[in-house]
């Protein structure tokens, strides 16, 4: 079976407010900028990207489930769901494709409740605290993993 040349980009709750939400913490780049960054990185390796952002956990889980049919991997910033959602973690495990976890800020230098990630042990790539440019780093690292697996 041929590996699909598509990634799913998942952005969790409140990331639709990037650029205006606490710019001193998250910067001024918008969600559109993030989607372009990931798409540009994926295009370098002949991959396309399907992006989803929602403030509703079930919408994200449905998108993750759908990815098992036509995506080679998932780049995800679960935002606050990182620290709370076992069901999001279970969805990522269930689709059985490689996952890259990305966070704009260094969650380990923030409030103590942000130090635990339910996604961490599911992801094969972790990019933490590089700002929105970390999305490109995560995308390219995930593509390395996907291409290594495809090569056998």
Which residue numbers are catalytic?
26, 103
What is the dihedral sign for C-alpha 56, 58, 61, 63? Answer: negative
Sequential DSSP letters for 59-116: HHHHHHHHHHHH-SEEEEE-GGGGGT-HHHHHHHHHHTS-EEEEESS-GGGS-GGGG-
């Amino acid at each position: 079976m041929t590996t699909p040349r598509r990634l799913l980009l998942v952005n969790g709750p409140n990331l639709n407010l990037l650029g205006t939400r606490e710019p001193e913490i998250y910067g001024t780049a918008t969600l559109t900028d993030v989607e372009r960054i990931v798409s540009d990185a994926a295009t370098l390796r002949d991959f396309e990207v399907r992006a989803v952002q929602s403030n509703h956990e079930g919408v994200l889980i449905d998108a993750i489930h759908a990815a098992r049919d036509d995506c080679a991997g998932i780049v995800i910033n679960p935002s606050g769901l990182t620290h709370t959602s076992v069901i999001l973690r279970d969805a990522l495990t269930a689709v059985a494709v490689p996952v890259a976890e990305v966070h704009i800020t260094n969650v380990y230098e923030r409030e103590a409740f942000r130090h635990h990630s339910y996604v961490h042990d599911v992801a094969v790539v972790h990019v933490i605290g590089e700002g929105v440019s970390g999305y490109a780093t995560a995308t390219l690292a995930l593509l390395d993993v996907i291409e290594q697996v495809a090569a056998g």
